[in-house]
Amino acid sequence: MTARSDKNSGTDLFSGLGRLVVLVDDPDAALAFYRDVLGFRVLHDQTTDGYRSVHVGVPGQEAVGLWLMTAAGGREHELIGRQCGGQPLLVLYTADLEAVRAHLRGHGVRVWNEREDTDSRSLHLADLYGNVIVVAQVHRAVT
């Protein structure tokens, strides 16, 4: 399959990004980390027929979020914290990287790979399962 750009087609196939799946073994612990430490908002939290559906997202972007999905079966349990093969799970943007760093450290979250590039400053952290998250403060508009 070959990727191609249809910038002149005038047709948008999708209207937005919805949810990304993050495999977890404890939805309460995952929710506490993403809500209480990272400041995500609960977009949806419902249990139906014994299955809990938890969606969280960044304030102001309620159409986009993470689905904290309880792993089912051995193969999914093996992927918890490694579903991206060691690459970052997501990138979060901030207007104040210093405040984010202080907040994370105040919650005992280890940060590493702090760097400054021409157009941004960033750091890495891991969620409670080891999924890598990049936080970036961009010096100019993201395109």
Residues 91-130: tens digit of each pLDDT: 999 999 999 999 999 999 999 999 999 999 999 999 999 9
DSSP symbol at 75:
H
User: pLDDT higher for 50 or 2?
Assistant: 50
Residues 67-86: tens digit of each pLDDT: 999 999 899 999 999 999 99
Q: What is the pLDDT of residue 62?
A: 87
Q: Which amino acid is at 79?
A: L
Q: Residue 139: is it exposed, middle or buried by C-beta count within 10 angstroms (0-12/13-18/19+)?
A: exposed
pTM: 0.87
Residue pointed to by tokens 């405040």: 99
Domains present along the chain, CATH in parentheses: 19-138 (3.10.180.10)
Q: Report d(CA 21, CA 80) in Å as an integer.
A: 11
Which residue stretches of 1-143 are H helix?
A: 27-31, 73-79, 97-106
> Mean pLDDT of all residues in the chain?
91
C-beta separation of 96 from 137 below 8 A = yes
Tokens of 140: 């100019």
pLDDT(140) > 90: no
> 51-57 and 132-138: which strand pairing?
unpaired
C-beta separation of 134 from 123 below 8 A = yes
Q: What is the pLDDT of residue 47?
A: 93
Cα→Cα distances 73→83, 94, 128, Å: 14, 36, 20
Residues 19-30: tens digit of each pLDDT: 999 999 999 999
